[in-house]
Amino acid sequence: MQEHEKSGIDRRDFRRSKRARNTALLAVLLGLAILFYIITVVKMG
Amino acid sequence: MSDVQLQMGQPAQAGGESPSLGVGHVRDYLALLKPRVMSLVVFTGFVGLLLAPGSIHPVLGTIAILCIAVGAGASGAINMWYDRDIDAIMRRTQGRPIVTGRVDGEAALAFGIVLSAFSVMIMGLAVNWTAAALLALTIGFYVLVYTMWLKRSTPQNIVIGGAAGAFPPMIGWAAVTGDISLDSAVLFAIIFMWTPPHFWALSLYRCEDYARAGVPMLPVVAGKAETRRQILLYSLLLAPLAVLPWGLGTVGALYGMGAIVLGALFLLGAVRIWREGDGPKAESAAKQLFAYSILYLFLIFALMILDRAWTFGAAA
């Protein structure tokens, strides 16, 4: 495999993994926001 | 709870990403949480929560169990980060995500620390700070006392370190009552006494693995004969101790009778190991006791729920 093709694949892999990590972080943050909302509602109820 | 239970699970499969990137898939991160260990931790924590006098809002109860699960998993992830060198040597741990390079070691450590912090914080904010403090103690004990200190330095590693796995029912109990009582301390003591024979039964037939990794498990340091003697000794203490919740009135006769039968079977297994010595059936006896010990703990705590449901049904 040519060197530039290999580095292109590496870059694509890196971007894909970074995007996946960002999406996971977003999901976690949303989950936490919902969790805190539920805790607040239950505690106040 | 014991990290050895993970051995019965399949190691997570390699993800599609390049191992050189050190980025794991969700599946690999889940494997870091030692899901099989977590399941027994969650179950015993749930029983503690159910047995405790008083009540808790179902949502808060669910959050408490979730926090126990996440906290236990997080300490497992930190344990995998710290033990990555010996995990690479031992057969049963060679498929773990950090060893295989599917998850970067530092990412696993960060993952464990963040989850630990969040599980304790949410437990404190949503449930109460006694349960949160116990959860923090459990995580700290497992990581600092067991993993970093005792595991590689003394054959008593799993005796003292076993306390970490014994806390969940106390946490569940504290989630409802906000305190620690004799009843919850007995639940703690049952798991604490169960841990040594459970681990030592395993280490009897995985002795070479531990020796190669330099982990001073009892059979490696004191020999198999002494290990068999210790298994019998701890089983003799465990069997009557498991009946104590009946004596204290935490649970009723249904549990008491069941605990006597289950304890007798545990003792029989321990006696068989002791009598077998280094005979041809020694390994099979150790494997059987190891498998039974997992079933035993599950059944003991399941019986507590059953007994409570029975008593509740009779009163209604």
The model's pLDDT over B69-119, given as tens digits with 9 standing for 90+, comes to 999 999 999 999 999 999 999 988 999 999 999 999 999 999 999 999 999
3-class SS at B150?
helix
Chain centroid to CA B135: how far?
14
Comparing CB atoms, the residue among A13, A32, A38 nearest residue B17 is A13
Residues in B touching A35 (Cβ below 8 Å) = 63, 122
CB distance B59–A38 less than 8 Å? yes
What residue of B is the nearest CA neighbor of A45? Answer: B57
Measured at the CA of B155, the angle between CA B223 and CA B209, to 5 degrees, comes to 65
Choose among B207, B205, B82: nearest CA to B151: B82
Phi, psi for B251 (deg, rounded to 5)? -135, 175
Residues in B touching A24 (Cβ below 8 Å) = 26
What region does B221 belong to: left with phi over 0, alpha with psi -120 to 50, or beta?
A: alpha
* DSSP label of B296: H
10 Å CB burial of residue B312 (0-12, 13-18, 19+) is exposed
Q: Tokens for A45?
A: 């109820």
Instruction: List the end-to-end C-alpha distance of chain A, in Å, as a whole number.
Output: 64
What residue of A is the nearest CA neighbor of B66? Answer: A35
Comparing CB atoms, the residue among B59, B118, B122 nearest residue A42 is B59
Chain centroid to CA B259: how far?
19
CB distance B126–A16 less than 8 Å? no
pLDDT over 90 at B61, yes or no: yes
The model's pLDDT over B270-294, given as tens digits with 9 standing for 90+, comes to 999 999 888 778 889 999 999 999 9
The model's pLDDT over B137-156, given as tens digits with 9 standing for 90+, comes to 999 999 999 999 999 999 99
Q: What is the pLDDT of residue B1?
A: 45
User: How many CB atoms lie under 10 A from the CB of residue A1?
Assistant: 6
pLDDT over 60 at B49, yes or no: yes
Comparing CB atoms, the residue among B17, B21, B126 nearest residue A39 is B126
CB B166 within 8 A of CB B191: yes
Q: Minimal Cα–Cα distance from B169 to chain A, Å?
A: 22
* Architecture label for domain B181-316: Up-down Bundle (1.20)
Q: What is the mean pLDDT of chain B?
A: 90
User: CA-CA distance, B49 to B134, in Å (whole number)?
Assistant: 14
pLDDT over 60 at B14, yes or no: no
> What does the domain layout of chain B look like in residue ranges?
1-180, 181-316
B156 Cβ contact list (under 8 Å, min separation 6): B150
CA torsion sign, B296 to B299 to B305 to B307? negative
CB B84 within 8 A of CB B105: yes
Residues in A touching B57 (Cβ below 8 Å) = 42
The model's pLDDT over B291-311, given as tens digits with 9 standing for 90+, comes to 999 999 999 999 999 999 988
Choose among B56, B210, B43, B38: nearest CA to B139: B38
Q: Minimal Cα–Cα distance from A4 to chain B, Å?
A: 17
Residues in A touching B128 (Cβ below 8 Å) = none
Could you tell me which residues of chain B have a Cβ less than 8 Å from any Cβ in chain A?
17-18, 21, 23, 26, 57, 59-60, 63, 118, 122, 125-126
pLDDT over 50 at B260, yes or no: yes
CB neighbour burial string for B94-122, b if at least 16 within 10 angstroms, e if fewer: ebbbbbbebbbbebbbebbbebbebbbeb
CATH class for the domain made up of B1-180:
mainly alpha
CB neighbour burial string for B263-272, b if at least 16 within 10 angstroms, e if fewer: bebbbebbbb
Among B25, B26, B57, B59, which would you mutate to test the A interface (most chain A Cβ atoms within 10 Å of its Cβ)? B59
Interface pTM, i.e. ipTM: 0.72
- pLDDT, average across residues B39-55: 95
